[in-house]
Amino acid sequence: MAYQPDRSQYPQPGADGKLDIDLTSGKYLKLWQGPQHPGITGNMAVELTVCGDEVVEGKVHVGYLHRGFEKLMERRTFIQCFPIVCRICVPEPDFNEYCYAAAVEELAGIEIPEQARWIRALILEMGRINSFLMYCGGQAGSYGMGVISQWTTYVRDLMLDRFEELTGARIYHMFILPGGVRDTLPEGFAQRMEETLREIEITMKDVYETMYCNAVFKKRTVGLGVIDPELLDSYGVTGPNARAAGVAKDVRKDQPYLIYPELDFEPILGQDSDIYTRADLRRQDILQSVDLVRQILAKMPKEGPVMSKLPNVLHWKIPRGETYIRGECSRGEYGYYLVTDGSGFPRRVNVRGPSYTHAMSLLERMIVNINIADVAGLMVSLHTYPPEIER
Amino acid sequence: MSALSIEGRHIGLPLRETKWMREFYTKLAKQFPLGELTEQRDNLAFISIEQPQLRPLLMHLRDKEGFSHLVLLTAVDWIEEGHFQLTYLLSNRTNGTDIGLRLMISRDDALMESIHDIWPTAATYQRELREMFGIDFPDSPGVYEDFILEGWNNIPPYRRDFDTLEFSTENFAQRPGRETKDPAQHMKQQLYPDGA
């Protein structure tokens, strides 16, 4: 990490601003980080050009997970798209369900029952906790602390149990349908959820003491991978990556959706915008989401319908229109741009995943001049999921 | 106004009328020639524009009106009408509003100026649009490099005239034992193997 003050041996930018890298000189080496990588960044690759142990250029390659979801949806009816959307993001699939359902509801003019709005928010917060727990394990793993991921995977599994009893599925829930949600909370759910939340709090205390107070972790992450707050808008940075830079970008507050105006919370902000700040902010976000789940369970109506009365879903035709629906997922702004043309099929569905901007243009910019050993930590600290880039 | 319909019958609630957007549109229309306004929600509107207005309008919205966040840039293929719709969606965080700029370009000569100098992140969107829709953005960094597809030599796959079913039938073989059976015929075969 400590760079030599003499930079003469590193490439200098030419007149066009590009680095003068002559691969035949023997000074540089091409190195591939990925596409198979033990971190949680999923299958993407960064083609590094290194000089000594310092990265001088990085190029992101994606496409390993492309399944053409957006195109597939154009051949399916609105309800048939439903099992597809959640598969766009594995660790946090519920935002796809919510954004897609809300976009269809808005264009079709469907209003959902009050209780469904609370259950949707509950599911989204549960998903957020899971996604952050997975991130904690990945971030620790990228700095050689394998045990943290075992602890967080354990509590994530408890949360998956709650998902299973609520929705019937552990990973892809397919629970938030246009018109509402599929079912009410099972008997005794709130109590079992409280036990899970307590377990998460205990584990996060252990994780804090072991990972966040660890001298090596601090030494390697403080001051590294700083995102300049001035770059946030030009690079489309949202979510915890922006909040760690001190900018309170949070869709739950900026454009409140579902029942978030009725919950008591403030976006958690960081200041230093480095890897440590982002990691610590996400740890606090887990605890905030734990509190939000408690608030939702305490305030939500205990009875009432959860699904609107809808006509036969196989024969829907939605008039020509377009809309954009966004939500604050664990990585930032997640959105669906839906265009309809009056037929029974969507004309175009475009998924705006936060990783699209974080993992491409931003990562390529940030990766320059860092040490090879810190690349994995930096990639994980941006909390990117490649399927969102490729859809 | 949108509403769910089945066989021409409208079901569901009409959308809310908005005021803020209309005032903003009137203000903006004094400076730029604007096309149709579609008020989708009280905080989301779409405005149709022509190509020459794109750059000055984007600069104005970003620098003067606080729409500093480029949410997305994408295309819609209106093949029947012979054009692509480019949608530039901008967001203003301070008042929580979004504006989508709709711009139609010809399908036959799909060419658009790049906006990577206004938002560097637009280069990624433009690279994807060139690959998936065949819309060219000259001067956009890395726009001719493969993004998601590798060695693709067919028509751009997100165009409406690209048939996914035909492509997969031509290029991929069914694994033995994975044949699709007609359920009625299959049951008949199972129940009456002799054809009785």
pLDDT in tens, A214-243: 999 999 999 888 888 888 888 889 999 999
Residue B171, in any domain of the structure: no
CB contact under 8 A, A109 and B2: yes
Neighbour count for residue A145 (Cβ, 10 Å)? 17
Q: Which fold has domain A77-386?
A: Cytochrome-c3 Hydrogenase; chain B (1.10.645)
- pLDDT tier for residue A144 given thresholds of 50, 70 and 90: confident
- Across the range A26-41, mean pLDDT stands at 76
Q: Residues A57, A60, A61, A64: is their CA dihedral positive or negative?
A: positive
- Across the range A296-311, mean pLDDT stands at 90
CATH code where residue B138 lies: 3.30.460.80
Average pLDDT of every residue of chain A: 88
Whether B78 shows a pLDDT value over 80: the answer reads yes
Whether A158 shows a pLDDT value over 90: the answer reads yes
- pLDDT tier for residue B84 given thresholds of 50, 70 and 90: very high
- pLDDT tier for residue A186 given thresholds of 50, 70 and 90: very high
What are the distances in angstroms from CA A225 to CA A276, A278, A376, B140? 9, 10, 11, 26
For B37, residues 6+ apart whose C-beta sits below 8 A from its C-beta are B21, B22, B25, B45, B46, B47, B48
- Which of B11, B179, B54 has the alpha carbon at shortest distance from A317? B11
- Across the range B96-100, mean pLDDT stands at 90
pLDDT at A7: 64
The domain segmentation of chain A, as residue ranges, is: 77-386
CB contact under 8 A, B11 and A350: no
CB contact under 8 A, B4 and A350: no
DSSP string for residues in A234-294: HTT--THHHHTTT----HHHHS--TTGGGS-------SS-SHHHHHHHHHHHHHHHHHHHH
- Which of A145, A52, A107, A117 has the alpha carbon at shortest distance from A376? A145
Residue B184, in any domain of the structure: no
Asked if A111 has any chain B CB less than 8 Å from its own CB, the reply is yes
Chain A hits for B4, CB-CB cut-off 8 Å, are 108-110, 311, 316, 318
Residue of A nearest to B93 (CA): A254
Give CA–CA dist B11/B9, Å, rounded: 6
Give the residue with greater pLDDT, B87 vs B94. Answer: B87
Residue to mutate among B124, B125, B143, with most A CBs inside 10 A, is B124
- Across the range B134-163, mean pLDDT stands at 89
- Across the range B183-187, mean pLDDT stands at 83
Cα of B12 to nearest chain A Cα, Å: 5
Cα of B36 to nearest chain A Cα, Å: 13
Percentage of residues of chain B with pLDDT beyond 90? 40
Burial B159-187 (b: 16+ CB within 10 A, else e): bbebeeeeeeeeeeeeeeeeeeeeeeeee
Residue B194, in any domain of the structure: no
Give the residue with greater pLDDT, A198 vs A32. Answer: A198
pLDDT at A364: 86
Asked if A360 has any chain B CB less than 8 Å from its own CB, the reply is yes
Whether B8 shows a pLDDT value over 50: the answer reads no
pLDDT at A281: 94
- pLDDT tier for residue B9 given thresholds of 50, 70 and 90: very low
Residue type, A8: S
Asked if A17 has any chain B CB less than 8 Å from its own CB, the reply is no
Residue B183, in any domain of the structure: no
Cα of B190 to nearest chain A Cα, Å: 30
Whether A118 shows a pLDDT value over 90: the answer reads yes
Parent domain of B60: 10-151
Give the residue with greater pLDDT, A20 vs A379. Answer: A379
Give the least confident one: A19-33, A55-69, A244-258, A361-375: A19-33
Whether A295 shows a pLDDT value over 80: the answer reads yes
pLDDT at A363: 87
Percentage of residues of chain A with pLDDT beyond 90? 43
Chain B hits for A249, CB-CB cut-off 8 Å, are 93
- Please name every residue paired with A29 in a beta bridge, in sequence order, or none if there are none: A50
Give the residue with greater pLDDT, B177 vs A264. Answer: A264
Give the least confident one: A99-108, B10-19, B110-119: B10-19
Give the least confident one: A18-27, A83-92, A265-274, B57-66: A18-27
CB contact under 8 A, B74 and A324: no
Residue B107, in any domain of the structure: yes
pLDDT at A56: 87
Residues 225-254 on A with a CB inside 8 Å of B are 233-236, 238, 249, 254
Whether A330 shows a pLDDT value over 80: the answer reads yes
Chain A hits for B77, CB-CB cut-off 8 Å, are 348
How many residues in chain A?
Answer: 391
Whether B5 shows a pLDDT value over 70: the answer reads no
- pLDDT tier for residue A155 given thresholds of 50, 70 and 90: very high
- pLDDT tier for residue A166 given thresholds of 50, 70 and 90: very high
- pLDDT tier for residue A371 given thresholds of 50, 70 and 90: confident
CB contact under 8 A, B71 and A326: yes
State the angle between helix axes of A114-141 and A275-299 in degrees (0 to 180), rounded to the nearest 10.
150
pLDDT at B32: 86
> pLDDT tens digits for A56-67?
888 888 888 888
- Which of A178, A30, A44 has the alpha carbon at shortest distance from A99? A178
CB contact under 8 A, A318 and B119: no
Whether A192 shows a pLDDT value over 90: the answer reads yes
Number of domains in chain B: 1
- pLDDT tier for residue A351 given thresholds of 50, 70 and 90: very high
Question: Residue ranges of the alpha helices (H) in chain A?
Answer: 69-73, 82-85, 94-108, 114-141, 146-167, 189-207, 215-221, 231-234, 240-243, 251-254, 275-299, 355-357, 363-366, 372-381, 387-390
Residues 253-272 on A with a CB inside 8 Å of B are 254-255
Whether A324 shows a pLDDT value over 90: the answer reads yes
Cα of A102 to nearest chain B Cα, Å: 13
